[in-house]
Amino acid sequence: MGNNTPLYEERGVSSSKENVQAAIKNLDPGIFPGAFCKILPDVLVGDDNFCTIQHVDGAGTKSALAYLVWKETGDLSVWKGIVQDSLAMNINDAACVGSLGPFVVSLSIARNKARIPGEVISTLIEACDKLCSELTNWGIPCHFAGGETADLGDLARTIIVDNTITSRMRRDRVINAANIKSPAILVGFSSTGQASWEPAWNSGVGSNGLTNARHSVLGRAFRVYTETYAPETSIDLVYSGKLGLDRLPSVFVRQLLSPTRTYAPLISLLIKSVGHEHVMGLIHCSGGGQTKIKNFGSPGITYRKNNLFPTPEVFELIQKEGQIPWKEMFATFNMGHMLEAVVDSREAAEICLGAARDCMIDARIIGEVILNKGNPDSRRVIIEHERSFFTY
């Protein structure tokens, strides 16, 4: 890495998105500034008791990994997981402000038609429709409204898969992460294992940091797929790992393609069990990984995480193969839990643990919210990992 620049940024991406934050700093923050998602007035009906949430997100560069596996194996099923990645990233974020549907769901696909045939598009659309039905059966009503497929060969090197969701909810049911303060307890919910609604075991990898993961693990033989990496990236950082083409689909690659967990059914149970008034905030540890929470809460607090889950195998391998510093790993990946709740008491935390057990998801108290005595105007995260101590 040159000039101490994080490897993630040298590969052309950013976990903290400083440029994006600067671009939106002057926009209206919505009616609940500091909430996990932007919340608008009820622009659909005009009821002052309600509000509107619209959210857009996608599978990111995970689709490039699916593309590689599909090209090498012909396995269309890899695209079904990409749809779940895209939709789960939206549903999880919206659920963190207490929005649990009904959702109107739109699928947006941008493809290079010369590389992505119609059978892939059909697989994606059918998978989105099926996933909406499954979410509805799990108590999270989703209505698939179709979407847009654009042939953008001049812009899209392979394929981009995004979703947009829209919902209404009562304002008095909003969970506003701006209300997080000290003292409070942090509860983490594992991203690994097999939740009661999941058909298979989940590696916990999620949809963030996959650019780093892909290039750190896959070997230089993959460089023949020039459409899967930016030509501006130093060739030394492109597919610099050890895994060869002859080993696809390897167990590890399958772990990297494990679909992002949908936490909405758990969040629904949490709110009912704990009580809305005892939940200060819900955080989806997506972009920014374990440091994501630093963007939320009252000024002058520290999130001390001193009892994290053991690092899942998928992240151990990414770190080892890519020689990525542990401090950067925690700022890029979820590292074992992708959802955390901030609650006001030990009793509330214990109820959270019980709700997780009912969903067959591992959970634990991972830390606490304390005062930031060194700087009362800022927030920080402290992570204690084995014998290391990281401050962000």
Quote the distance between the C-alpha of residue 105 and its chain's center.
Answer: 18
**167: in domain:** yes
Selection from 124, 132, 159, 188 nearest residue 367 by Cα: 188
DSSP state letters, 136-166: HHTT--EEEEEEEEEE-TTT-SSEEEEEEEE
**101: in domain:** yes
pLDDT score of 250: 86
pLDDT score of 1: 41
**152: in domain:** yes
pLDDT score of 17: 58
What is the four-CA torsion angle of 298, 299, 305, 309, rounded to 10 degrees?
A: 50
Instruction: Answer whether 240's CB lies under 8 Å from 36's CB.
Output: no
Residue labelled with tokens 């947006």: 108
Q: Which parts of the chain have pLDDT scores under 50?
A: 1-3
CATH number of the domain to which 293 belongs: 3.90.650.10
**2: in domain:** no
Residue 265 is encoded by which pair of tokens? 């059914």
**223: in domain:** yes
Count of Cβ atoms closer than 10 Å to residue 126 Cβ = 13
Selection from 207, 261, 245 nearest residue 64 by Cα: 207
**1: in domain:** no
Residue-wise pLDDT tens digits, 59-77: 999 999 999 999 999 999 9
**305: in domain:** yes
Q: Which domain holds residue 339?
A: 7-391
pLDDT score of 8: 56
Side-chain half-sphere exposure of 325, counting CA atoms within 13 A: 12
**58: in domain:** yes
- Tally of domains within the chain: 1
Side-chain half-sphere exposure of 5, counting CA atoms within 13 A: 12
What is the four-CA torsion angle of 189, 289, 104, 278, rounded to 10 degrees?
A: 50
Interatomic CA distance for residues 377 and 371, integer angstroms? 11
pLDDT score of 2: 43
Interatomic CA distance for residues 119 and 117, integer angstroms? 6
Interatomic CA distance for residues 124 and 138, integer angstroms? 21
Interatomic CA distance for residues 285 and 175, integer angstroms? 16
